[in-house]
């Protein structure tokens, strides 16, 4: 009997300790159960009122963190630490995460609002069948400029950025594939080029742009351009839309040598603890009215066909931000070039930044 008691007490104590350790582990990374959803998204990329609405409707508390570039996001996820339930990467980063087993397969039966997505944005090469990712926003890359500060110069080509009249007048978005892409596109190369001679050439070309570059910045690029702190910016289309909403003197063009069309999709990473809540969140975001509200706030183009009906024609009819397939078919989607090549792009970008600091 004594023995039985001893075993019973030992098992009880072990179970108690296990519960303690698990809840310590959970609370140490900000997770406190299925009532919490940890979201990792680009900065300025959701209407905060929608987060409140989701919390009210579901009783799930949203813990929210932001990033500035796919590279920053990938580094943080790889390092571990926070157990994110929702992440919103772009095309090539999704393909990389999928290839490395970092994503959970989605249960489409829990995302009935998926039917609202325009088929043009579904079943793309980075995730055929949308097994792991659901479209969030899409757009292009281009040049925004202020005609009053650029004396009527034309910006229909990337080459225009190298004009010696633009000394310290250009702001660049702080993202490796985008900036190296400007160098590649200006030379007539693909954004997915893996020839290191071409990449070195693009790097040297970018170094020649250095005197014109005022700064390489994150989300503050919108505020700086709207306040006319610089005349020209290399930006994502939706940021251009927000800037032009603030200051209607500016204009946005997709340069003629080519550019990227990108798609940011919602994924559930392997680390997720609240998979049920993550599906609820995805379906909530895809609700046409919620999507329309988010689109008005964020400024980027929505892939949600049903949401378009709730948006004013001045937004959805603006071909600079909602280009048709005739334009996007000639643009490139970034491909996952593999670990080594992506590392090479990142290194070149860092070297370019260092070169700028030294200059």
Q: Which residues of the shown chain bind ligand N2P in the complex (CB under 6 A)? A: 42-45, 90, 219, 236, 262, 264
Dist. CA 346–CA 102, nearest whole Å: 21
Dist. CA 233–CA 321, nearest whole Å: 16
Looking at the Cβ atoms of 41 and 146, the one nearer to ligand N2P is 41
Contacts for 206 with CB less than 8 Å, ≥ 6 apart: 179, 180, 182, 183, 352
Looking at the Cβ atoms of 277 and 303, the one nearer to ligand N2P is 303
Q: Which among 143, 37, 151, 132 has a CA at the least distance from the CA of 91? A: 132
Looking at the Cβ atoms of 83 and 250, the one nearer to ligand N2P is 250
Shortest distance, position 317 Cβ to ligand N2P, whole Å: 22
Shortest distance, position 80 Cβ to ligand N2P, whole Å: 24
Shortest distance, position 264 Cβ to ligand N2P, whole Å: 5
Shortest distance, position 353 Cβ to ligand N2P, whole Å: 19
Looking at the Cβ atoms of 113 and 265, the one nearer to ligand N2P is 265
Contacts for 271 with CB less than 8 Å, ≥ 6 apart: 77, 80, 82, 83, 84
Shortest distance, position 52 Cβ to ligand N2P, whole Å: 20
Burial classification of residue 9, based on how many CB atoms lie within 10 Å of its CB (0-12 exposed, 13-18 middle, 19 or more buried): exposed
CA torsion sign, 84 to 107 to 127 to 311? negative
Phi, psi of 140 (to 5 degrees): -130, -175
Looking at the Cβ atoms of 263 and 337, the one nearer to ligand N2P is 263
Looking at the Cβ atoms of 31 and 138, the one nearer to ligand N2P is 138
Contacts for 156 with CB less than 8 Å, ≥ 6 apart: 253, 255, 256
How many Cα atoms sit within 13 Å of 51 on the Cβ side?
18
Q: What residue number has its CB nearest to ligand N2P?
A: 42
Shortest distance, position 74 Cβ to ligand N2P, whole Å: 13
Shortest distance, position 294 Cβ to ligand N2P, whole Å: 12
Shortest distance, position 42 Cβ to ligand N2P, whole Å: 4
The angle, 0 to 180 degrees and rounded to 10, between the axes of the packed helices 275-286 and 48-58 is: 120
- In sequence order, the β-bridge partners of residue 117 are 304
Looking at the Cβ atoms of 138 and 352, the one nearer to ligand N2P is 138
Q: What single DSSP character describes residue 256?
A: T
Task: Say how far residue 134 (Cα) sits from the centre of its chain.
Answer: 13
Percent composition of the chain: helix, strand, coil (DSSP 3-state, to 5): 50, 15, 35
Burial classification of residue 62, based on how many CB atoms lie within 10 Å of its CB (0-12 exposed, 13-18 middle, 19 or more buried): buried
Phi, psi of 336 (to 5 degrees): -75, 110
Looking at the Cβ atoms of 118 and 159, the one nearer to ligand N2P is 118
Q: 304 is written with which tokens?
A: 């949600």
Shortest distance, position 31 Cβ to ligand N2P, whole Å: 26
Looking at the Cβ atoms of 242 and 308, the one nearer to ligand N2P is 242
Q: 252 is written with which tokens?
A: 């946005």
């Amino acid at each position: 009997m004594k023995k039985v008691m001893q075993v019973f007490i030992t098992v009880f104590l072990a179970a108690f300790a296990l519960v303690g350790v698990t809840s310590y582990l959970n609370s140490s990374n900000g997770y406190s159960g299925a009532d919490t959803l940890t979201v990792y998204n680009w900065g300025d990329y959701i209407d905060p009122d929608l987060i409140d609405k989701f919390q009210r409707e579901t009783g799930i508390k949203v813990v929210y963190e932001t990033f500035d570039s796919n590279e920053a996001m990938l580094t943080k996820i790889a390092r571990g630490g926070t157990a994110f339930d929702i992440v919103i990467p772009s095309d090539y980063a999704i393909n990389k995460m999928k290839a490395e087993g970092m994503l959970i397969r989605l249960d489409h039966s829990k995302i009935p609002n998926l039917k609202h997505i325009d088929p043009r944005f579904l079943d793309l090469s980075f995730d055929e069948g949308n097994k792991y990712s659901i479209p969030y926003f899409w757009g292009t890359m281009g040049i925004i400029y202020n005609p009053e500060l650029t004396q009527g110069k034309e910006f229909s080509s990337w080459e225009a950025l190298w004009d010696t009249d633009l000394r310290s007048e250009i702001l660049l978005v702080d993202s490796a594939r985008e900036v190296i892409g400007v160098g590649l596109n200006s030379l007539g190369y693909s954004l997915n080029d893996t020839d290191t001679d071409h990449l070195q050439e693009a790097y040297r070309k970018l170094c020649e742009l250095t005197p014109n570059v005022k700064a390489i910045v994150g989300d503050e690029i919108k505020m700086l351009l709207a306040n006319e702190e610089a005349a020209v910016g290399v930006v994502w289309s939706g940021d251009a839309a927000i800037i032009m909403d603030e200051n209607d003197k500016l204009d946005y063009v997709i340069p003629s040598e080519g550019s990227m069309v990108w798609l940011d999709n919602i994924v559930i990473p392997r680390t997720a603890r609240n998979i049920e809540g993550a599906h609820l969140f995805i379906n909530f975001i895809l609700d046409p009215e919620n999507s329309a509200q988010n689109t008005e706030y964020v400024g980027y183009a929505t892939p949600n066909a049903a949401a378009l009906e709730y948006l004013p024609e001045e937004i959805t009819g603006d071909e600079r931000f909602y280009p048709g397939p005739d334009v996007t078919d000639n643009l490139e989607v970034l491909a996952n070039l593999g670990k080594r090549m992506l590392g090479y792009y990142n290194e070149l970008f860092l070297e370019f930044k260092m070169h700028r600091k030294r200059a």
